[in-house]
Chain A
Amino acid sequence: MANILLLQRHSPFTSSHGREALDLALALAAVEHNVSILFSGDAIYQLLPTATHADFKLKAYPRSFALFELYDIEQVYVCQSSLQQRGISVDQLSLAVTALAPAAQAALIAEQHQVISS
């Protein structure tokens, strides 16, 4: 079992990075790795409540974040300054997360065997 951090930096609708990172997180957790996820930059927007709109068929994949608990992914973090820059508070997010200051992010990264940026 390895400590693996997924560092997410992309918003949910302009690329497939977020969707692919979610699939990767679930796959790594399914084979018993100790997965943590840090949402930073525009990836913060992945954590806002989403809706499926009838006019386009894009699945609102952030709803699948509810699977984290089932896969024992308990360490879900957000970058505190990314939240502040975007005028978003932790209360607005659709998932229970811990906001980390830069020093705490550095400590989290130092604990990892692998860091995967997406």
Chain B
Amino acid sequence: MKLISLIHPLGDFDELAALCTAEDVLLLRQDAVYLCLRPDIKWPVRQCFALDIDVQSRNITVPDSVQLINAAQWVELVVQAEVNLLWPS
């Protein structure tokens, strides 16, 4: 499983989809949590997470397709993942 972290709110999502397989997971952090405001985005993975403190600080409501996690759960995800990627690098 790859953990792909996003920290920017814009990017080429076709390029991202090409990187992903179904078992990979996405983590939205920092300004990438603003992507939750974009109803047009279809996440190219089975699970998409967002870091709770980044979401709460920006006063954003996440859609059902995104699951909030805290810092401890983020660490667990990093440990579980075979590969950790920051996208775009």
Contacts and interface: CB of A to CB of B under 8 A. Distances in A.
Q: Do A and B come from one complex?
A: yes
Interface residues of A, number: 18
Given A11-B31, A14-B31, A88 B58 contact: no
A87 B58 contact: no
A86 B58 contact: no
Contacts of A53: 53, 56-57
B30 interface: yes
B37 interface: yes
Contacts, number: 45
B49 interface: no
B31 A13 contact: yes
Residues of A contacting B: mostly: loop
Interface residues of B, number: 15
Interface in A70-85: 85
Contacts of B17: none
Contacts of A55: 53, 56
A45 interface: yes
Nearest to A55: B53
A58 B57 contact: yes
A46 to B, nearest CB: 11
